[in-house]
Amino acid sequence: MSIIVLGTVATDTLKTPFGLRRNILGGSAVHFSMSARLFAPVNIVAAIGNDFPSGYIRFLKKKKIVLDGVTVQRGESFHWEGEYQGDMNTAITRKTVLGVLADFKPVINPAQRNIKYVFLANIDPRTQGDFLNELRAPRLVAMDTMNFWINTERQALLRMLKRVDIFVANDQEVRGLTGENNLVRAAERLSRLGPKMVLVKKGEHGVLFYSPEFTLALPAYPAKKVVDPTGAGDTFAGGFMGYLAKTGRQDALTVKRALAYGTIAASFNIEDFGLARTASLRMADLNARMKEFRKLVCF
């Protein structure tokens, strides 16, 4: 089953205790695609400026990512500059160039309108809504967001919650959105606002999944080396959605395995800057680490 992801295709300048990288390929849709591609064909919907490095486009094509939904607009491409310090759990934004994202209207082709598995990466909730209007009969829609939209587009965000199956957010966002400190209760409350399933990403502390039918929890893979956490959440989502799209099921065991695949995909992402590790990731790498992860988690 194909997957379609709405998000950003961007360049990132990143500083971590392990070094500095300027203008490397990044963006939510790109990180998502690096893990999702191992499970299913991935279609990216995004806008780039006419300054976007053509080498990055060639790279994505080589990775068999479908770029029919990537529109080139006159102007600057989305660019993010961030830094991580200390425990590296929180990014410090140094600069954001919105560029062509400022008035981005998603455009997809007729075939893409029939895609069933949809990931709305972190982007203006109004753009997420516009995009969702273009799809004919999605089977499973997941959406991510960030504090910025919770604070500035709360109403649009709440409207979107009614239209999606899975809401993906980190622990701070879930607490900020509900005003509830207990994460299980916060997730439960969010699920009553629309999305049946709520996936709480806790970074180095793993993930919590809530649905009225079952609650699941997994620790993160205990990584010894965290070089650059940028895109870990999207890489997680790519593994998670990828496995759900591949299996076509949503029972507790399937969802748990999807969470584990997401966890493992993210554990590779953080080992090096940008896509340096995930660009060469193969299914065999995921499965080998999944086996190890099962050994350290299951009792």
> Is residue 294 part of the contact set for a second copy (CB under 8 A)?
yes
Counting residues that bind a second copy (by CB under 8 A) gives 40
Q: Give the interface segment with a second copy, choosing from 4-12, 30-38, 147-155, 223-231 (CB under 8 A).
A: 223-231
> Is residue 86 part of the contact set for a second copy (CB under 8 A)?
yes
Residues 6 or more apart whose CB falls under 8 angstroms from that of 35 comprise 235, 236, 238, 239, 242, 261, 262, 265, 266, 269, 278, 281
Q: Give the interface segment with a second copy, choosing from 64-72, 123-131, 137-145, 203-211 (CB under 8 A).
A: 203-211
H-helix or E-strand containing 12? strand 10-16
Q: Give the interface segment with a second copy, choosing from 4-12, 50-58, 96-104, 205-213 (CB under 8 A).
A: 205-213
Tokens matching residue 257? 């395995």
Least distance to a second copy, CB of residue 252, Å: 7
Instruction: Check the CA dihedral 160-164-169-171 and report its sign.
Output: positive
Least distance to a second copy, CB of residue 293, Å: 9
Distance of CA 103 to the CA centre of its chain: 21
Among 79, 202, 246, 277, interactor with a second copy by CB under 8 A: 202
Q: Which among 135, 116, 7 has a CA at the least distance from the CA of 60?
A: 7
Among 88, 101, 150, 266, interactor with a second copy by CB under 8 A: 88
3-state SS assignment for residue 218 = strand
Least distance to a second copy, CB of residue 181, Å: 4
Residues 6 or more apart whose CB falls under 8 angstroms from that of 143 comprise 119, 120, 128, 160, 161, 164, 166, 167, 168, 195
Q: Give the interface segment with a second copy, choosing from 64-72, 114-122, 175-183, 276-284 (CB under 8 A).
A: 175-183
> Is residue 215 part of the contact set for a second copy (CB under 8 A)?
yes
Query: Which single residue is written with the structure tokens 């990044």?
Result: 26
Tokens matching residue 70? 């990537």
**Pairing verdict, β 117-120 and 140-144:** parallel
> Is residue 227 part of the contact set for a second copy (CB under 8 A)?
no
Identity of the amino acid at 166: I
> Is residue 298 part of the contact set for a second copy (CB under 8 A)?
yes
Least distance to a second copy, CB of residue 298, Å: 4
Q: Give the interface segment with a second copy, choosing from 50-58, 110-118, 143-151, 199-207 (CB under 8 A).
A: 199-207
Q: Give the interface segment with a second copy, choosing from 8-16, 81-89, 108-116, 128-136 (CB under 8 A).
A: 81-89
Tokens matching residue 227? 């070089």
Residues 250-279 that bind a second copy (CB under 8 A): 252-253, 256-257, 259-260
Among 61, 113, 205, 291, interactor with a second copy by CB under 8 A: 205
Tokens matching residue 129? 């809504």
The answer to whether residues 199 and 240 touch, using CB atoms and an 8 Å cutoff, is: yes
> Is residue 184 part of the contact set for a second copy (CB under 8 A)?
yes
Distance of CA 43 to the CA centre of its chain: 14
Among 62, 74, 95, 224, interactor with a second copy by CB under 8 A: 224
> Is residue 148 part of the contact set for a second copy (CB under 8 A)?
no
Cα-Cα-Cα-Cα torsion 278, 39, 53, 19, nearest 10 degrees, comes to -20
For a second copy, the binding residues (CB under 8 A) are 86-88, 175, 181-185, 188, 202, 204-206, 208, 214-226, 252-253, 256-257, 259-260, 294-299
